[in-house]
Amino acid sequence: MEQRPRITSLISLIIFIFANYYFVTFAIELNGYISILDDLKALLEDISYETMLNLIVVITTTLTTISLLVQYLIGKFLLMIFAPEVKSKLFYALIPKILIMFINVICMGILQINNLLLYMLTALIGSVLILLFFQYKKENWKASILFATPFIIDALISLGKEIFSIL
């Protein structure tokens, strides 16, 4: 992994995108967004249902991937400011995210578990795994916390919004 970080990061990014694509597809099918798509279909009569579904999945997957890359850049920026001696690689964030994404795909696609709170909790666990994976690779707690902060904050905000929406 460390010998060819760019290739490892690229392969990890491709795997993340595919896993995220399947997760979003399952999320749309299981969470009842199909009825929303029917309403949207009534507005856009020229577009087939499958095309509309694929378009929404591609847009959502793209936005999620961009969000991950922005979080990575913020973490890298924090490292440049507060721990310039520590270098980060994209796969330090992607490998834990891929692991959590596979767990989510299995839960949603195979086990048919439809619980948004569970997926927000797994996102938080994935962020903590990023912290621990970075710590394992760099053996520097300060840098690990700096790098994982954007991922943890995003997961905490998402989880908090979901908890408060339930209340």
| Inter-residue contact 90 to 9 (CB < 8 Å) | yes
Please report the pLDDT score of residue 163 as a whole number. 85
Residue identified by tokens 């199909």 is 34
Rounded-to-integer distance, Cα 9 and Cα 150, Å: 19
92-108, pLDDT tens digit by residue? 999 999 999 999 888 88
Task: Return the closest-CA partner of residue 107 out of 12, 13, 1, 30.
Answer: 30
Please report the pLDDT score of residue 35 as a whole number. 60
Q: Where are the domains of the chain?
A: 5-166
3-16, pLDDT tens digit by residue? 788 899 999 999 99
Question: Helix or strand or coil: residue 75?
Answer: helix
| Inter-residue contact 96 to 129 (CB < 8 Å) | yes
